[in-house]
Structure 1
Amino acid sequence: MKRIMWVLAMAIPGTTFAQLADSAQRVVRMQGTVNFRDVGGYKTNDGKKVAWGKVFRSADVSHLTDQDLRVLEQKHIHTVIDFRGVKEAAAAPDHLLPETDYLLCPAGSDSLPGVAQMAAVIKKGDFLEKFYGNTQYLGDRYKPLFQKLLVLPANESIMYHCTGGRDRTGMATALFLYALGVPQETIEADFTASNVYLLPMNKRMFQGLQQNTGLDEETIRKALELKPELLHSFFSAIKGKYGTVENFFEKELGIGEKERAILKEKYTN
């Protein structure tokens, strides 16, 4: 943990690092996955804080151990949203508690490039910028999550994930925190923190891509690392299509002013 905090301190400006200095509380240590985090604790614009222990994000959870499942039970995580594609999820099924309310939301994920296509995608450039700027699948992918959040029992928690827990999961977290009134700077800090929490996984992935594509690791890293500008593209694309983020929430997610008030009541204190 000290190593993670040191890297965060070096990589993130002080104003946003302060929001991530609680990693000892935020990161959930799991044996079978990484980037499993509590989304709580962030300050909102109206002086409140996002509630701890209610909403969690993660990378692939197909290899959770029995000890990990006990952690899920302790944290009352019996509702799980999976943003992976159909084939992606079938190849590595979630390992969850019995009778978990599990929902696959694969919109837009079945067309993502595999390793074989990544060389061409990286060489062409702007892959992540285009991915974050594509609003086509956002409603279908994220509406189920927000509808679950509205009705989640007070004594229950929810977890959502994809494979790396960074892009599709990062968008979901950005939308959730935005809905609660968390400042954009904080949202971006939480988003880019995946670069640190996924360091071991990223290193293996970059080395694998290097071997399969012939590109150097630095080129691959620069093409795939998370940057605040990606969220700028994300929210700008939403505003470009819907006028405001609030209009998007209402039209695509079923979250109008009344529903946002419910979310704030349930998930801030």
Structure 2
Amino acid sequence: MKKIFILFFIIQTQVAFAQNAHLPVEKVWAERISSTQYLIKSADKTKWKIYEGELPRQMRWNSKARILKDSLIVEATPLQRKYFAAVYKKDTIIFSERRFFMEQSPNFRDLGGLKTADGKTVAWGRIFRCGDMGKLSDNDLQMIAQQNIKHVVDFRNEQEVAQSPDKYPANYEIKRVWTSISPSNDEGMKQLYVVMSNPNAMADDVERVFEGFYQQMPNNIKNYAPFFNTLLEANENESVLFHCTAGKDRTGLGAALILSVLGVPEETIIQEYYLSNRYTKYLANTGMLSQIKPAIANVLAGVQRKYIIASLNVIKAKYGSVINMLEQEIGLDQSKRQLLIKKYTF
């Protein structure tokens, strides 16, 4: 009886977690609650017809649709991704899980499915973000290969790379691009190291330093140029993955930049950024963070809206917009932006 109760508790916890693992702007979403099950939820009581497929453009439209009333459990094959289509009257939404069910990378996410201001949608399965890739399991590596990820952009500094080199699938060709967004001697990084080693530091102190770190990151915006070059160079059947250590700060700004170029509204960008908070809190109990005060560790392991807003405000104050900054600093002109939109939206 005790084992049954524990199993029930675990399943209920996974379901509750999945119910919150979406963006407020999404009408319907899917989340893996185990290696063999998806939970599909909707934002209201709309009775969506749900179809399944192996790829976004390969839905099994001739199969019998399932009706989504509130929630729906769909069986899945381990290590294989499913896509879904939700249909209600003239509205059709293609979707899949945003966060992957990875064993050693809980913040591994797909930027697909986000709506742009002009009605387009960011393509699923083309741009991924994550944290440290040095601890990926064999199953995680298999998932990477199945997503046809052929380009990896690493935002970490020299020390981080040396401590945890990326792991890639065996006998699988990946082009790695390294571009340190915030070198270890960067002023923002220095301040973070100082506050982490201060036994008298309070949570508010860490938040102020973190906000300052985000205000500093736009000073290194040229270091994001290889990221955009990679996105421009990738073939239309290849996917791009970018990451740092936690997959939330340098990676979070990188996501905000490319989503801005693709035309995603700022509020949606902030919501996507904030989603990291649901997946990175575990970091407070790992590595160096496990050795400092829990209140400090929790701040360092999470994100806050004001952090990414601090970066965006610095950019707007100096350049007027993200688009202006990228054109002036890394030469991302209109023709290149249009190419990115063509490649990564539909």
TM-score range, shorter chain: 0.7 to 0.9
Uncovered stretches (5+) of structure 2, i.e. residues with no partner: 1-13, 33-96
Q: CA deviation at 1:122?
A: 5.0
As a proportion of its length, which structure holds more helix? 1
Which of 194, 198, 220 is matched with 1:137 structurally? 220
Q: CA deviation at 1:243?
A: 3.1
User: Across the two proteins, how many residue pairs are aligned to each other?
Assistant: 258
The residue aligned with 1:162 is 244
2-side partners of 1:33 and 1:54: how far apart? 18
The residue aligned with 2:58 is none
SS in 2 for 1:153: coil
Uncovered stretches (5+) of structure 1, i.e. residues with no partner: 10-14
Distance 1:77 1:22, change over 3 A: same
Q: CA deviation at 1:159?
A: 0.3
2-side partners of 1:49 and 1:17: how far apart? 13
Question: Are the aligned partners of 1:19 and 1:186 in contact in 2 as well (CA < 8 Å)?
Answer: no
| Structure having greater relative contact order (Cα 8 Å, sep ≥ 6) | 1
The residue aligned with 1:183 is 265
Which of 5, 18, 21 is matched with 1:5 structurally? 18
Structure number with greater Rg is 2
1-side partners of 2:123 and 2:330: how far apart? 22
1-side partners of 2:123 and 2:148: how far apart? 14
Structure 1 length normalisation: TM-score? 0.86
1-side partners of 2:324 and 2:127: how far apart? 24
Matches within 5 A, 1:44-123: 44-97=116-169, 98-111=172-185, 112-113=189-190, 117-120=195-198, 122-123=201-202
Which deviates the most, 62-71 or 31-40? Answer: 62-71
2-side partners of 1:59 and 1:20: how far apart? 26
The residue aligned with 1:41 is 113
Q: CA deviation at 1:5?
A: 2.8
The residue aligned with 1:12 is none
Which one-letter code corresponds to 2:168 in the other structure? L
Distance 1:87 1:234, change over 3 A: same
Tell whether 2:24 aligns with 1:16: yes
The residue aligned with 2:305 is 228
Which one-letter code corresponds to 1:250 in the other structure? E
Q: CA deviation at 1:38?
A: 0.6
The residue aligned with 2:335 is 258
SS in 2 for 1:16: coil
Distance 1:127 1:211, change over 3 A: same
